[in-house]
Structure 1
């Protein structure tokens, strides 16, 4: 098990952890009924923090930020000698956490995505984990929260008996949601990115060799060029440029301190 704490990657604090340590931290928080926020960041997630300092401060307040993309794992190894042999990929981490929840009888709440996606996701998860208890399923409303709505969402989740919330709203909406809801819930919130779409069978998984060499972005770009071209064509070079500057000490990437400031509104 590797759990070496938070390390500075372009000013975003990413945890040098492996799957075993990440699963253990999430499940322990669920068992102990503790607030806990996790996100798995690839290049896009890191660069969203770099370009948005208030969001960076929110990310730095998360209990656990895993290196979802290979370039983020490489950065941890290059900058901090983290010794990570593999990334901690959101969709895979999701399955490993769900496996443990099924074994321990911890009910799970699914929040986000669309009704058609959730209609495919739920039976897929039930096939993979017959003992899994799904406490509730709630699609995204694709709008900002209204006054008092955060408390209403938290009440629904608590009333369901859930001990873990999986949040699938896309980056950065899911991180903002998890940040806003963390003070209201005594359970972990996991921002899991495209895990809902992958496990519902709506996105094809890239070949293992592309994942190993960090070319998953090219696969995703080929599947959704109109939606993703700006993310990859613009952000990937910017990430590499800043990483090189940080490594050569030409740029001091100073992480903003974690924040606990409440948000007046957030995406739901």
Structure 2
């Protein structure tokens, strides 16, 4: 996708698109039926990319990259990048489910535990009567199962697939099979299935509006998340100011 609104940030890129503009881009992708991997970037992923060239190459090859984290919006202001707004993965995911219901797009759900994905399917089918879920599968399998899984996905003729793995596993997996899936739009959604199913809670609206979702996750799971958010955020702030200093030296 030729995107004049794409800007370089750190060792990757971000598309300065609103949520509505992103949805319009997804509709074009579906109409063209060209295999497209969608990704979002946040502080954690940018930190990983400083050492993971494979992940960096995968993300930079994607034709649609949204700013998921408030951290990216903050960094864009420091670095002078005209980013309109953050487009969180879960907000885009839920908007696309509504779009699929409206336009009768076929969707495939992939990832999470069996009981979680079944619950997500039930919730969506109850709330969205026109939603056509042409396939679903949990995220637990051996590598030897992958050819059959990919074949099932290709046979589903889905228009959109949502992959609920963590990073960088989801980016690696989608990149490996994107051209075999026969699905034009494939998006990683991380822990969004758990949120939909009620396994985990999303931060209250006021915390979302004040860029405090990371803090809500931290207090929910401090032992698992402290390294990502305390150490990771500090690394990201340092990286941002180092980048700003380098930019100032070259101008």
The answer, yes or no, to whether TM exceeds 0.5 is yes
- SS of the counterpart of 2:179? helix
RMSD of aligned C-alpha atoms?
2.0
Does 1:154 find its partner at 2:150? yes
Give the superposition deviation at 1:38. Answer: 0.4
User: Structure 1-normalised TM-score?
Assistant: 0.85
Give the superposition deviation at 1:169. Answer: 0.5
Q: Give the Cα–Cα distance (whole angstroms) in 1 for the partners of residues 49 and 198 of structure 2.
A: 29
Q: Give the Cα–Cα distance (whole angstroms) in 2 for the partners of residues 21 and 80 of structure 1.
A: 21
CA deviation string 1:126-164 (max 9, x = no partner): 233221110111011255x23xx5543332112122111
- Structure 1 counterpart of 2:220: 223
Unpaired stretches in structure 2, ≥5 consecutive residues: none
- Structure 1 counterpart of 2:129: 130
Counting only pairs closer than 5 Å after superposition, residues 163-182 of structure 1 correspond to structure 2 as 163-182=159-178
For the 8 Å contact 2:73–2:83, the answer to whether it is kept is no
- Structure 2 counterpart of 1:48: 48
Counting only pairs closer than 5 Å after superposition, residues 63-74 of structure 1 correspond to structure 2 as 63-74=63-74
- Structure 2 counterpart of 1:14: 14
User: Structure 2-normalised TM-score?
Assistant: 0.90
Q: Give the Cα–Cα distance (whole angstroms) in 2 for the partners of residues 76 and 17 of structure 1.
A: 13
- Structure 2 counterpart of 1:257: none
Q: Give the Cα–Cα distance (whole angstroms) in 2 for the partners of residues 53 and 83 of structure 1.
A: 25
CA deviation string 1:12-60 (max 9, x = no partner): 2122111112111222212322100101222112212122122111111
Is the helix fraction higher in 1 or 2? Answer: 2
- Structure 2 counterpart of 1:104: 103
For the 8 Å contact 1:41–1:69, the answer to whether it is kept is yes
For the 8 Å contact 1:109–1:134, the answer to whether it is kept is yes
Q: Which has the higher contact order (CA 8 A, sep 6+)?
A: 1
For the 8 Å contact 2:17–2:83, the answer to whether it is kept is no
Does 1:242 find its partner at 2:239? yes
For the 8 Å contact 1:49–1:59, the answer to whether it is kept is no
How many residue pairs get aligned? The number is 246
Unpaired stretches in structure 1, ≥5 consecutive residues: 253-268
- SS of the counterpart of 2:246? coil
CA distance 1:69–1:142, change in 2 (3 Å)? farther
